Structure 1
Amino acid sequence: MATTFTGVPGEPTQTGTAMLETATAAIQDFGPVNKVHQHLCAFHFYAHDMTRQVEAHHYCAHQNEEVRQCLIYDSPEADAKLIGLEYLVSERLFLTLPDDEKKLWHSHEYEVKSGVLFMPGLPGPIQRQDLDKVDRGDILPLGVPQVMMALTRDGQLYEDLARNVEKRFGVSFEKEREHRAYMTGPNLGVHPLANGGGKGLKTELREVDVRPVDSVPRVFV
């Protein structure tokens, strides 16, 4: 049966394509995708325009104890659209980055402590065990070509957006905020260059000359 994903331009998926997808899924190995083990829901806004706020569902995989990489979708549904790619790293690794790069990363401290970052479907105690690690120093870099930011204080998130998510997932941000009051945040505090250094960031495309192959030195003959 053909499948239609609403809101996506193009013809419906044909039966033959759907059958081919089923066959390839049974044969091929999707190693990187199968490493995804965690679903986080949060909110982001465009770094140059706080009025453009989106519900952001992060599907994350641990690369090691200090690095996670996440695919971000606009919903948890099967027809969700991929809207970003983000990494989480420890405070220790963040501090090794060049200063020019630090401003492209943001802290999770407010998101975690306020309760607006949560793991759908998981009991609160299990969530807090993992999110306490995030609060104590994990930082999130921002995607390209459109840089996105995280919430950093009360009053930024649209009330109707917050209430809609709370209702659909059966959560209370205020109650979870109370449960997370013991969390301490990054050991050294939020770095002054993180969160864009307090300023908005916007990436812009520009035209450049492509380097010809012959211009690249040949190391091996």
Structure 2
Amino acid sequence: MESPSDAKDRDAKPKVAGEPCSTKSTVLETGAAMTQDFSPLQNVCAHLNAFHAYAADPTRFVEANHYCGHLTGEVRQCLLYDSPGPGARLIGIEYMITPRLYETLDQTERRLWHSHVFEVKSGMLVLPQSSALVPQAAWDKAETAEMADVVNLYGKVYHLWQVDRGDQLPLGEPQLMTSFTAAEQLPGFEKIMDERDKRFPGCDWRKKREMRAGLEEPKTHPDSDYTWKKQ
């Protein structure tokens, strides 16, 4: 089992090919940060953590930290990283849309998208709290309100870097991923959730599952979550 100190070391020193950044690069990056406009990144307003399975091989899964922003009231876009640390690797992207927009897609396209119902209701999907200034009770209430929206959304996600197999570079073609729709799809579900929670103070997936029990569970479209339906 990975300890919190192991997790911090992993976050700070990801296994990536190449020599360390030079002093010149660091100076240039510092200058750019002071003089350039990073408006698209400033649109990020939420950090979510969950797990994705490979659509082509759902026995493989990856933990993903989502940094998301709204494009409209019905479209969100997320950058996915393998950790929340400063040396995190950008491993993929995810788009989330409302059921209304999902219904406009053709069947082939709809089968690429997944639901978030199980992720939300089980406590798998969390918004890690990074500031102790907000009381836990207030954070839990705000998170549950956010989950009331997310539970209805459909997501389409591609991973570009297969970190689970130890790749030091983003090799191969983008991989379509999917969410889990039942605990038994992820062997060792409870242990994996417990280990994840240890890395994020205040996270307790069992408690979140209880708090979200009252959230209305939407009926998902039969074309979504196609990975599991074709098994």
TM over 0.5: yes
| Structure with higher RCO (Cα < 8 A, 6+ apart) | 2
Q: Which runs of 5+ in 2 are unaligned?
A: 1-11, 130-135, 160-173
Q: Does 1:133 align with 2:155?
A: no
Aligned CA distance change for structure 1 residues 176 and 6 (closer, same or farther; 3 Å): closer
2:200 is aligned to 169
> Match for residue 209 of structure 1?
none
Measured against aligned partners, the alpha-carbon deviations of 1:126-153 in whole angstroms (never above 9, x if no partner) come to: 1011110111x21001316201110101
Deviation at 1:169, TM superposition (A): 1.3
Which range moves more in the overlay, 122-131 or 108-117?
122-131
The separation in 1 between residues aligned to 2:157 and 2:86, in whole angstroms, is: 24
Which residue does 2:221 correspond to in 1? Answer: 191
> Among the aligned pairs, what percent are the same residue?
43
Greater alpha carbon shift after TM alignment, 153-162 vs 27-36: 153-162
Please report how far the alpha carbon of residue 199 of structure 1 lies from its aligned counterpart in structure 2 after TM superposition: 2.5
Shift of 1:54: 1.2
For residues 185 and 196 of structure 2, what CA distance do their matches in structure 1 show? 16
Q: Give the alignment's Cα RMSD to 1 decimal.
A: 1.6
| CA pair 18-108 structure 1, distance change in 2 beyond 3 A | same
Using the alignment, how far apart are the partners of 1:174 and 1:190 within structure 2? 24
| TM score, norm. by length of structure 1 | 0.83
Query: Which residue among 127, 139, 142 is the counterpart of 2:157?
Result: 142
Q: Which runs of 5+ in 1 are unaligned?
A: 201-221
Shift in Å at residue 77 of structure 1?
Answer: 0.5
Runs (4+) of structure 1 moved beyond 4 Å? none
1:79 paired with 2:94, answer: no
Partner of 2:171: none
Report if the CA contact (8 A) 1:5-1:12 is conserved: no
Structure 1 residue 155, shift from structure 2 partner:
1.8
How far apart, CA to CA, are the structure 2 residues paired with 1:6 and 1:140?
27
Displacement of 1:51 in angstroms is 2.3
Match of 1:182 in 2: 214
SS of equivalent to 1:43: strand
User: 1:156 aligns to what?
Assistant: 185
Instruction: Give the TM-score normalised by structure 2.
Output: 0.80
Cα distance in 1 for partners of 2:176, 2:192 equals: 20
Give the counterpart letter for 1:146 in structure 2: Q
What is the number of equivalent residue pairs in this alignment? 194
